[in-house]
Structure formats: C-alpha cells, structure tokens
Amino acid sequence: MKKLRILLLTLAALATPVVAAAPANAAEPCKQAQVCFYTERNFEGYRAFYWDNAMPLSKKLDVRDYGYAKTTSSIKNLTPYYFHIWNAQGSHRCLPPGYNFTNVGTAYEDKISHIGLYTNWC
C-alpha cells in the first residue's frame, strides 16, 4: 500500500509541469532581424521566419512552393529593410522596417506568391 501511494505521488508530480505548459500552438516571438509569418491573424498560430541576412536584397523571390505562402495571415518585419509581398494577381503590399500586418488582407491571406526585401522602396 505504501509503494502504491509513493507511485501515485510520483506520477502526480510528473504530470504537474505538463498541465502548466504553454499551449502547443502558441507562436514564438519574432526576433530582431527576422521577417515572421504567422498562420493566424494577430500573430497567432505557427510561425515561420527568414533572417534578413538569408535573403538577397532587392530581389523578388518566388515562394509559391513554400507552405507558409499558402497559410500566412499576419506578418512582422523586424528587419531594417522594406518587406514586400505579392499575390498571384501581381498586386503587392509593402511593410516598412519595424512595422507589421496584424491581418495581411483578403487579397493576400493564404495567397502570397512572392516576397522581397528592399533597401529604399515602399
């Protein structure tokens, strides 16, 4: 009986941290020098990102084959560059350094085809 009680107390102690953990879908914070793409509006859900030094400057990149292009609802730009998104119709939006889209808008939500970082164009 004593061993059973010790076993139950041990199992209860192990389960406690699991209950206090953050939800699995909570997005990590966007870091300085990153452009972050979130699957939900208001920076919720899964987060994908690029470091600014991993993207060529002043070049429009085709991202239609990347999962986040079909699932993005909000974006943060923590780079010193102007971040651009295009949809398949050729329309585009610009996000100045340090700005964000809490909602990219219906023309772009889950429909991004190209992205780019630019030094002086918005």
Report the top-level CATH class of 24-118. Answer: mainly beta
Give the residue with greater pLDDT, 16 vs 72.
72
Residues 33 and 31: their CA atoms lie apart, in Å, by 6
Burial class (CB in 10 A: 0-12, 13-18, 19+), 81: buried
Q: Give me the pLDDT at residue 67, please.
A: 87
| Average pLDDT over every residue of 42-56 | 91
Distances (CA, A) of 1 to 4, 8, 45: 5, 11, 46
What pLDDT is stored for residue 17 in this prediction? Answer: 35
Residues 43-49, mean pLDDT to the nearest whole number: 92
